[in-house]
Structure 1
Amino acid sequence: MRDALLMGAILGVLCAVTGSYLIVRQMSMIGDVIAHSVVPGISLAFFWGWDLTLGAFISGLLSAILVALIEQRSPIKVDAAMSLTLTSFFACGILLIARLRTNQVDLTKLLFGDILEVTPGDVWRTALITLGILLLVKLLYKELLFYSFDPLGAQASGLPVQWLYVGLISAITLTIVATMQVVGVLLVTALLIGPAITAYLWVKELHQMMILGGILGALATVGGMYASYYFDLPSGPAIVLVIFAAFLVALCFSPRQGLLTKHWQRGNPPQR
């Protein structure tokens, strides 16, 4: 249980940082694409005896690059490219699992995760991934900030925007691969996006969004695990629902953008 709690707290922070960039770049769906696209890589890696993380990373990264190529070099819109890539990679993965008879790949755990089965080795590996990504974000914060809000301006100023894109997608793919063990392929986007958009409703600056999102993500993950333990619920869905509950609170009561807050302010204008 201790390893699971540590893993949840670490991933809560990691997902908030990478998810914040997805929000400001309006690329939320690419997380879903990558999450579903790791399945063929996992299948082949298991069949060939490779590390599953490596196979998942390569497959997820290829899917994101494919989406970018389709968007840039064809008249196809990015949402259509994402939809086709997501379903095609996922279908390919399921067929590979069936065809290669990799029966030891547990589809239930792959789809929904099981954080209670993490090992100390998983925690250390995730901690190293998190440390590496946080260090890169710290070193390239200004460049990534410029690229995230104004990619054309960043390109005009001479920044290597293609490499920044590849680096950002690589970080997101690593985050998703690490998070799959917690909530699975189908729910990973909620942990990646949920804390970030919840923080977005409360704060204005990107660095504040990352910090608050990290705190919310860690608390929501740990809270979801306790809920799953005491109420005998699957851990992945429990974590996602706790995140969704936190988002609903922010959506209603955020001082700047809360729906109920705005309604109350309209009904009670400030006195002069």
Structure 2
Amino acid sequence: MIEFFTEPWEHVFMQRAFLVVLMSGVVCGVIGTHVALRGMAFIGDAVAHSVFPGIAIAFVLKTSLVLGGIVAGLVTALSVAVFAQNRRLKEDTVIGVFFAAAFGLGIVVMSTAPGYGGSLESFLFGSVLGISSNDVVTVGVAGAVLLLTTGALHKEFVTVGLDRETARSAGLPIFWLDLALYAMVTVAIVISIQAVGNILVLALLITPAACARLLTDRIGVMMILAPLIGAVSGLTGLYLSYALNLAAGGLIVLTATAVFIACWVFAPRHGLLSRRGPAAARVQSSQFGQP
């Protein structure tokens, strides 16, 4: 039993994978909390697609994939924030336009590179076992900056998330706060794509936050539970991947989904069983003539 936990750490590539998955789980859990509170799951999906052309261009030019993805994501996020100011267009409509265009551009760019099929598969489904030492450093630095920025803007993000009109009347810069959150989602997704891939990265951003939402009504506690669930799900999925020789990204997401289902059923106040409990107790009491 002990070997199950210690053996993977004997391999350098697994050590790197564990570190990146751990950091990605924590960062996505924190950022994902604000995304979930504001009902912005779709923007996470849009950003995940919008980083594709930047990564594709960086791959063709043989430069940093992380930097290329961040630049492309930020450009798309800025475009969405600007075009969504037109009240004739809803935000989700603008998001749909830009993420589809970005993904199409990425496919066109990637098709110009020889042997792009394998690289495309790695991008879509993740390649956590092929992470380099430089990648670990990049994820660590970017993750630390994100966590510090989230802490600095936490109150403002919560205020906007709870009531935009109140935040606007209080003089908060709604546009710039939206743009800041979009940018932070972009960076969180880019540093996590290597772990679970473009298709599954939304789950790492949203699922732990959704679990925490079911477990607590307090935002502060949610900000602790979400990254904890994300980190544990990532590490567990990676262990299972090593033991079963199956895709790491898929198992990480399935582990997080299993935690979500458990929370949905067993959460103390908001779970399925707890919601049925009082009703079942009242029915039983009425059957026995108890007040």
TM-score, scaled relative to structure 1: 0.93
The residue type equivalent to 1:41 in the other structure is G
SS at match of 1:214: helix
The CA distance in 1 between the partners of 2:89 and 2:53, in whole Å, is 24
Partner of 1:166: 179
User: In the TM superposition, what is the alpha-carbon distance from 1:50 to its structure 2 partner?
Assistant: 3.2
Pair 1:196-2:209 in alignment: yes
The CA distance in 1 between the partners of 2:210 and 2:181, in whole Å, is 18
1:251–1:257 contact (8 Å) kept in structure 2: yes
The residue type equivalent to 1:196 in the other structure is A
Stretch moving more, 111-120 or 218-227: 111-120
The residue type equivalent to 2:153 in the other structure is L
Partner of 2:38: 25
The CA distance in 2 between the partners of 1:10 and 1:99, in whole Å, is 33
Partner of 1:264: 277
- Of 142, 158, 161 in structure 2, the residue corresponding to residue 129 of structure 1 is 142
Provide closer, same or farther for how the CA distance between residues 102 and 84 of structure 1 changes in structure 2, counting only shifts above 3 A.
Answer: farther
Provide closer, same or farther for how the CA distance between residues 161 and 78 of structure 1 changes in structure 2, counting only shifts above 3 A.
Answer: closer
The CA distance in 2 between the partners of 1:121 and 1:41, in whole Å, is 19
Partner of 1:36: 49
The CA distance in 1 between the partners of 2:35 and 2:91, in whole Å, is 15
> Structure 2 matches for 1:1-272, cutoff 5 A?
1-73=14-86, 75-101=88-114, 103=116, 106-269=119-282
The residue type equivalent to 2:180 in the other structure is G
User: In the TM superposition, what is the alpha-carbon distance from 1:65 to its structure 2 partner?
Assistant: 2.4
User: In the TM superposition, what is the alpha-carbon distance from 1:99 to its structure 2 partner?
Assistant: 3.0
CA RMSD of aligned residues (A): 1.8
The CA distance in 2 between the partners of 1:15 and 1:198, in whole Å, is 13
1:36–1:185 contact (8 Å) kept in structure 2: yes
Unpaired stretches in structure 2, ≥5 consecutive residues: 1-13
The CA distance in 2 between the partners of 1:228 and 1:97, in whole Å, is 29
The CA distance in 1 between the partners of 2:220 and 2:125, in whole Å, is 30
1:208-261 residue CA offsets vs partner (Å, 9 max, x unmatched): 111001111110000001111111110001100000000000001111111122
Q: Percent identity?
A: 35
The CA distance in 1 between the partners of 2:208 and 2:227, in whole Å, is 7
The CA distance in 2 between the partners of 1:34 and 1:73, in whole Å, is 20
Provide closer, same or farther for how the CA distance between residues 101 and 75 of structure 1 changes in structure 2, counting only shifts above 3 A.
Answer: farther
The residue type equivalent to 2:194 in the other structure is Q
Stretch moving more, 115-124 or 66-75: 66-75
